[in-house]
Amino acid sequence: MFIDSHCHLDRLDLSAHEGDLGAALEAARARDVRQFLAIAVTLDDVPGLAALSRVHHDVVISAGVHPLHDVASEPTVADIKECAETHAAVAIGETGLDYHYDSIPRERQHERFRRHLVAANELELPVIVHTREAKDDTLALIRECTDPAVGGVLHCFTEDMDMAREAVRHGFYISLSGIVTFRNATSLRDLARQIPLDRLLIETDSPYLAPVPHRGKPNEPQWVVEVAECIARERDISIDEVAMQTTANFYHLFRAAAPQASADIKESLAKAGVI
């Protein structure tokens, strides 16, 4: 069984499924994808994601504001906490720092990221971190503001092994997306072999970054299996091992998601001591 640990279900291109999100999720379930973490880009997204979660028992949600999303007013720590608690979010984010475009001033990104980290700590919820070309500042804020016992994940990771090691030391997981399958992603595949398997997550970041052999198409949750297959090949292990370990990792990090897991997953997690 697989888990898509990062997907934007409210932004999927559903043209291949006649506009039906349920059909897209069923396509994923048919490939043994058993849980979906639907990620918020802004706090305004969260009520809609919560409604999806009520309809689809295997969808859990996050609450946060993307570092490059412009907002009329910056949410306070209290705003972030209230939104997460009201809508039963299992994580805070996605948040972080992105210096590639610099469309949002860095000082503003820093303060927004810090507020999310503080909210995550106070709620004891893991934080989902987007980081691009901001290695040193991302790590500095994580060290300053996070509790390793709560931790989080560096999602859609494309940075170097030094950053991955430092994040893992601070209680974080590393999530790999379809980028790992791209022809020019040699260094990321090297990293996929080196990161401890008990610190890896898999994701689609759909509708973005469709993996090989689906490049050029809108991404969707069912293709998280292709990410797992690539990692299995690179590590020379079975896809079952990747599936089992990344599933256990997901519930170890996102503990609030465990009550929504299916009965067979809960049984496996209980045997492994995760729940």
Give the residue ranges of the annotated binding site.
6, 8, 94, 130, 155, 205
Burial (CB < 10 A; 0-12, 13-18, 19+), residue 271, is exposed
Please, are residues 183 and 213 in contact by the beta-carbon 8 Å criterion?
A: no
Q: 106-123 vs 77-86: helix axis angle to the nearest 10?
A: 50
* Cα separation, 228 vs 259, whole angstroms: 24
Burial of 121: CB neighbours in 10 Å, binned 0-12, 13-18, 19+: middle
Please enumerate, by residue number, every residue annotated as part of a binding site for a divalent metal cation.
Answer: 6, 8, 94, 130, 155, 205
Whole-angstrom Cα distance, residue 202 to residue 174? 8
- What is the per-residue burial (b if ≥16 Cβ within 10 Å, else e) of 49-86? bbebbeebebbbbbbbbbbbbeeeeebebebbbebbee
Largest CA distance in the chain: 49
Q: Are 268 and 243 in contact (CB under 8 A)?
A: no
Q: What are phi and psi of 159, to 5 degrees?
A: -90, -160
